Amino acid sequence: MKANSPNKVAIIMGSKSDYPVMKECEQILDVYDKTLQNNQFLFDNNLSLGDMAILPFIRQFANVDIAWFNKRFVNLSDWLERLIESKLFISMMKKYNVWNSLNKGEDIIFKG
């Protein structure tokens, strides 16, 4: 994102809804938030590939201003918290030390 782009300014100034791209995102997230009024997950009452596929995008959006997101999208915020705390998510997001060729430590083998 360019330093002088409206989106960058919106994030810095905190007036997100004054910019079209933020309004468009809010409209999409409103649909998800309303869906979660009646469902535990976005596409059904069961966790689906669709939930896991959209999770990184919603998580990234939320992390721009988590306090605002949690207040604005209550159901989506609960959904996000449930998924981030799930065993599945934790197993996928295992943290590894940054590789350094000078350290002769443990080999990391990714199993398929």
Residues 6+ apart with CB under 8 A from 71: none
Is pLDDT of 7 > 60? no
How confident is the model at residue 60, as a pLDDT? Answer: 92
Percentages of the chain per state (helix, strand, coil), in multiples of 5? 60, 0, 40
pLDDT of residue 112: 63
Domains in the chain, CATH or no CATH each: 19-92 (1.20.1050.10)
DSSP element (H, E) containing 12: helix 6-13
Q: What pLDDT does residue 53 have?
A: 93
What is the share, in percent, of the chain residues with pLDDT greater than 90? 52
Higher local confidence (pLDDT), 43 or 9 = 43
Angle between helices 20-35 and 49-64 (to 10 degrees): 130
- Indicate whether 29 pLDDT > 60: yes
Phi, psi dihedrals of residue 85, rounded to the nearest 5° = -90, 0
Q: What is the pLDDT of residue 74?
A: 97
